Amino acid sequence: MDWDVVIGLEVHAELNTNSKVFCSCKNEYGSAPNTNCCPVCIGLPGALPVLNKQAVKYTIKAGLALGCNINDIAIMERKNYFYPDLSKAYQISQLVKPICLNGGIKLSNGKFVRLNRIHLEEDAGKLIHNENIGSLIDYNRGGVPLIEIVTEPDISSADEAVEFVTKLRNTLIYTGVAQCKMEEGGMRCDVNLSIKPKGSETFGTRTEMKNLNSFKMIERAIKVETERQIDLIEGGGKVVQETRRWDDVNEETVAMRSKETSQDYRYFPDPDILAVTISRQDVEDIRKTLPLLPEQLKDKFVNEYNLPEYDADVIIKDKEISTFYLKCVELLNEPKQISNWLMTNVLAKLKDDTLQITPKQLTDIISLVLNRKISKQNGVELFELIWGTTDDALKIATNKKMINDMSADELYKIIDEILVNNPQVIPQYKTEPDKILNFLTGQTMRQTKGKADSKLVREYLINKLK
């Protein structure tokens, strides 16, 4: 039997605000335990939350980038449950009136994955289990602002899910509202998954897998859980609605708790926080701060810069690269040349390094090459030399004697000498022109220590050997 897979995602992303969402403690990863804490975020008696306006703005900005409608009034609610990492025994979240509704992301296969909502909430602290001491709690993360992006059940495969999360992550990074560092837990994904007979209108019973924090985990968990559900049903069994944990070591999903015993969160509006009113003017002001998003940049690169789609796709994949590229084009109006250098030289470096060249350095090198001040070969060498330094391209080229300071006549004189010294190759030119041309060009480059403009050399040789 063939099956359809039905997937809905709930993606949590920590917002990139300076302070936490309800107090002025630092929103910072990696500090010593319980150092970014105050009466509010450790839930002391009498402490009250005051909503961070920047977190609201960032949520609106994320919503606008994802095509959401922004509610006029948003309400913070309390989600009540007991867990030691939750200092107040309730999480301040949103249920009935979230900040953003609808919106969505278009996948490369043309499918539009609809969003249900984006809401703002606070993160919980972290439990640290120590064999000798017992369980400890670090509340540094407690109260860090999170947005939860909830999709409709529009996703039908692991590949679609991974593409969706990739595009979502990239969009959030582009807007600057979140860093989405998955390895630090800055972005986590819950997967709701069910299967149904191919073409059936009725959804099957779904399971939820929580806190998947890498693309590989998302992909593997979906594949494994799909197989599990198919095997279960085909073997005459029934899927139970439950939360399952992904066991990354054994590559399997494990039942955590069923819906029967699940908690009633007893949501109600948080009486400590006034309803958030969002004016149309606020929304428009925030819209103005939106940068060009990946798809818009791609259009710009293809239509304005005449880049091949392939180049554009590579460049927009990473905000740092596209920002670098845009700055380069601002300095030197040679979009395709810059793209070539970026894709071959810069990206090769970035495989195991961070970006260590400035737009000015790169475009200076490219200009030197394009103006035939240095050869392409020396240009590449110069690029290697300048990487990781703050040096000026022209200065290094001069010091390293890379500058082509020969006149054309001087060059021609050298070539003429080479021809005289290698008379045996001239007859061969008729039968193997490329081989001979390469040989003579190579000789010239060696003689000039790489300074000569190889293009000029070839032109002269072709003319001479005619």
Partner 1 sequence: MKDTTLIQLVNDIKSGKTKAVDAVKYYINNIKEKSYLNAVVEVFDDAIQKAEEIDKKVKNKEPLGRLAGAPIIIKDNMLYKGKKCTCASYFLKDFISPYTATVVDRIIKEDGIILGRANMDEFAMGGSNEKSYYGPCKNAHDSTRVAGGSSGGSACAVAADLCVASLGTDTGGSVRQPSSYNGVFGMKPTYGKNSRYGIVAFASSLDQVGPITKTTMDNALLLSVIAGADEHDDTSLRAPVDNYLSQIKGNINNLKVGYCKQIIEKIKGTPYFSKYKKVLDFLKSQGAHLVEISIENIELALPCYYILAPAEATSNLGRFDGIKYSTRNKDAKNIGQIYNFSRTDGFGKEVKRRIMLGNFVLSSGYFDAYYNKAKALQQNIRESFKTAFSKCDVILFPTTSDVAFIIGSMNKNPIEMYLIDLFTVPANIAGIPAFSLPFDKGENNLPLGLQILANDNNEGIIYNLADFIEKNYKESK
The residues of the shown chain that bind partner 1, judged by CB under 8 A, are 39, 42-51, 78, 80, 82, 84, 87-90, 137, 264, 266-268, 271-274
Q: Which is nearer to partner 1, 272 or 334 (CB)?
A: 272
Minimum CB distance to partner 1, residue 264 (Å): 5
Minimum CB distance to partner 1, residue 246 (Å): 23
Minimum CB distance to partner 1, residue 208 (Å): 18
Minimum CB distance to partner 1, residue 347 (Å): 48
Q: Which is nearer to partner 1, 143 or 335 (CB)?
A: 143
Q: Which is nearer to partner 1, 265 or 387 (CB)?
A: 265
Q: Which is nearer to partner 1, 18 or 289 (CB)?
A: 18
Q: Which is nearer to partner 1, 77 or 364 (CB)?
A: 77
Minimum CB distance to partner 1, residue 4 (Å): 30
Q: Which is nearer to partner 1, 129 or 238 (CB)?
A: 129
Minimum CB distance to partner 1, residue 360 (Å): 45
Q: Which is nearer to partner 1, 263 or 333 (CB)?
A: 263
Q: List the Cα angle 32/184/95 in 5-degree steps.
A: 100
Q: Residues 411, 456: contact at Cβ < 8 Å?
A: yes
SS3 annotation, the chain: CCEEEEEEEEEEEEECCCECCCCCCECCCCCCCCCCCCCCCCCCCCCCCCCCHHHHHHHHHHHHHCCCEECCEECCEEEECCCCCCCCCEEEECCCCCCEECCEEECCCCCEEEEEEEEEEECCCEEEEECCCEEEEEHHHCCCEEEEEEECCCECCHHHHHHHHHHHHHHHHHHCCECCCHHHCCEEEEEEEEEEECCCCCCCCCEEEEEECCHHHHHHHHHHHHHHHHHHHHCCCCCCCEEEEEECCCCEEEEEEEHHHCCCCCCEECCCCCCEECCHHHHHHHHHCCCCCHHHHHHHHHHCCCCCHHHHHHHHCCHHHHHHHHHHHHHCCCHHHHHHHHHHHHHHHHCCCCCCCCHHHHHHHHHHHHCCCCCHHHHHHHHHHHCCCCCCHHHHHHHCCCCCCCCHHHHHHHHHHHHHHCHHHCHHHHCCHHHHHHHHHHHHHHHCCCCCCHHHHHHHHHHHHC
Q: Which two tokens stand for residue 375?
A: 């050869």
Q: Which is nearer to partner 1, 46 or 236 (CB)?
A: 46
CA pair distance 360, 393, nearest whole angstrom: 9
Minimum CB distance to partner 1, residue 276 (Å): 10
Q: Which is nearer to partner 1, 47 or 403 (CB)?
A: 47
Q: Which is nearer to partner 1, 240 or 274 (CB)?
A: 274
Q: Half-sphere exposure of residue 320, counting CA atoms within 13 Å on the CB side?
A: 9
Minimum CB distance to partner 1, residue 118 (Å): 22
Minimum CB distance to partner 1, residue 74 (Å): 14
Minimum CB distance to partner 1, residue 282 (Å): 18
